[in-house]
Amino acid sequence: MCIRLFGAYLLAGILLLLPIICYSDKASDYTFVREAKSTPAVVHFDYIGIGGGTTGCPLAATLSHGAQCFSLERGGSPYGNPNIINTENFAPTLLDTSPTCPAQQFTSEDGVFNIRTRVLGGGSALNARFYTRASTHYIKEVGWNQRMVDQSYEWVEKVVAFEPEICSGRRVLSEMHLYGTKVGGTIFIPRKITVYLHATVQKMLFRHIPAYGVIYKDAYGIIRHRAYLKRNSKKNRIVLSVGLLMISGMGSAFHLRAHSIKVVADCPMVGQGMADNPMNILFIPSPQPVEVSLVQVGLSNHFKHFLSQVSISPGVILEKIMGPLSRDHLALRNTNPNDNPFVIFNYFKEPEDLRKCIEGMKTIIDVVNSEAYSKFRYKYMPVEALIDLLLALPLNRRRKHANVTFSLEQFCIDTVMTICHYHGGCRVGRVVDKGYRVPGIDSLRVVDGLTFYRTRVLTLKLLHMGQRILHDGLLRGSKKKN
């Protein structure tokens, strides 16, 4: 769907002079969006959606066509927030460390800085605004309905995506006509949707096996709110993101008991297989002003790596490894849903990932050394000098080796960053079935980017799940009548 939140700490070294606009978010003027502190103590709905992110928002919109839907988002509203709606504030927003900022920072055990979103709309509200479709091969591989997926994409493209005006620094990539050049775009029924902001779900409620509700707290930290599924509804479902599974008692029994969590279902694969697409960049000072813009043009080399250019005057060219093969795990540090978990991705553990990074960096160097790019760089600065310049920036917390300037292999390892496309941890076929149900747990679906086994750049490809859930609810109701 989009390239998310990348390069916060690269930009920290470049954009320290850019102001962060102070903003106190609140519920928007939309009548269905409210503050959690105004919630009644108990509410009942057909569907309860935990997380109003990139998947949760369109999912709630779709479900509202057939039922009453209740959506809980721990962050605030993006509407009217200048830090979110203005492209120029993209980097400063990622550097904001205030407790209510839309970008919650964390550092993986690999020493790489990363981001969790904390805003209505999730990563689609705070990202580099790149939109593209999933391949037909991927759709077939995960067992999705191609027709429903295509309809979902068409809806998105009519509503939120547009073809950008390509600025001069970026035309260099598009005009080179390299193999795989790609130009990207930026990208309900109100009376049946209720959205509460600053609502942090503490845990799900289970009666034996079926899930029947959730407990959540508001901005004041008062845990007094409960949302229940309507009884005897043919459609009732709780739809959640992966992070709450463990806290609610679904995961490795050994790990859950270590945190004094009651085991609802022993699912040892929850949190396993976590991957994050490595990103490496080259920073190129320019003798002439370069327009401030985000990702617009990319180069994909036989789908092995993805190159893109970001102009921040001076410019940055990045490459992202598709896949990747290297994986590890996620675990709880404690039972507070606001705290960051323990995460390790094992970047470049698999030699094939490292080989792709080296290929990508060689392509970037070829672009920088090309005639087309010559007017955007200083001729007296060789690539080695550009690498040395990059090493002076606080890219990550990894050790820098002496040979990094002359070894692309070491360069990839030492300067790796994230593009915030982490995925895995709740894989289809390992934790959830193809209907995104946790086997043995009734009234529960997991619809989240962590269900992907490849990059979560296309989180909106889960849009068709709303139609599927509604369809399954109708079928279930029909069977009850019969």
Structure tokens that stand for 243 in this block: 């992070």
> What pLDDT band is residue 163 in, cutting at 50, 70 and 90?
low
Which of 295-309, 374-388, 443-457 is most confident?
374-388
Domain membership flag for residue 62 = yes
- State the binding site for FAD: 54-55, 73-74, 119, 201, 449
Q: Which domain holds residue 75?
A: 8-481
Cis peptide before 314 (omega within 30 of 0): yes
**Average pLDDT in the 381-386 region?**
90
- Could you report the per-residue pLDDT of 32-66, keeping only the tens digit for each? 888 998 888 899 998 888 888 877 887 887 788 77
The pLDDT of residue 232 is above 90: no
> How many domains does the chain divide into?
1
Residue 225 known to be catalytic = no
Quote the crossing angle between the two packed helices 383-391 and 351-368, to the nearest 10°. Answer: 120
Phi, psi of 42 (to 5 degrees): -140, 135
Composition of the chain by helix, strand, coil, percent to 5: 30, 25, 45
pLDDT confidence of residue 209: 72
pLDDT confidence of residue 2: 39
> What pLDDT band is residue 342 in, cutting at 50, 70 and 90?
very high
Domain membership flag for residue 460 = yes
Phi, psi of 355 (to 5 degrees): -60, -40
Domain membership flag for residue 1 = no
Proportion of the chain above pLDDT 90, given as a percent: 27
CATH number, position 383:
3.50.50.60
Domain membership flag for residue 243 = yes
Stretch among 50-54, 175-179, 343-347, 403-407 having the lowest mean pLDDT: 175-179
Among residues 225, 329, 421, 423, which one is catalytic? 421
pLDDT, greater one: 180 or 371 = 371
Domain membership flag for residue 267 = yes
The pLDDT of residue 243 is above 80: no
SS3 assignment, position 466: helix
Domain membership flag for residue 2 = no
> What pLDDT band is residue 17 in, cutting at 50, 70 and 90?
very low
Q: What ranges make up the beta strands (E) of 285-413?
A: 297-300, 305-311, 315-321, 328-331, 342-344
Predicted model pTM: 0.78
Average pLDDT over the chain, rounded to an integer: 77
- Could you report the per-residue pLDDT of 392-410, keeping only the tens digit for each? 888 899 999 988 888 999 9
Q: How many Cα atoms sit within 13 Å of 482 on the Cβ side?
A: 6
pLDDT confidence of residue 47: 87
Structure tokens that stand for 403 in this block: 């040979």
Domain membership flag for residue 3 = no
What sections of 145-275 are H helices per DSSP?
A: 146-159, 168-175, 243-247, 253-258
Which residue type is seen at 226?
R
- Could you report the per-residue pLDDT of 69-113, keeping only the tens digit for each? 888 999 888 887 777 766 666 777 777 778 888 888 999 999 999
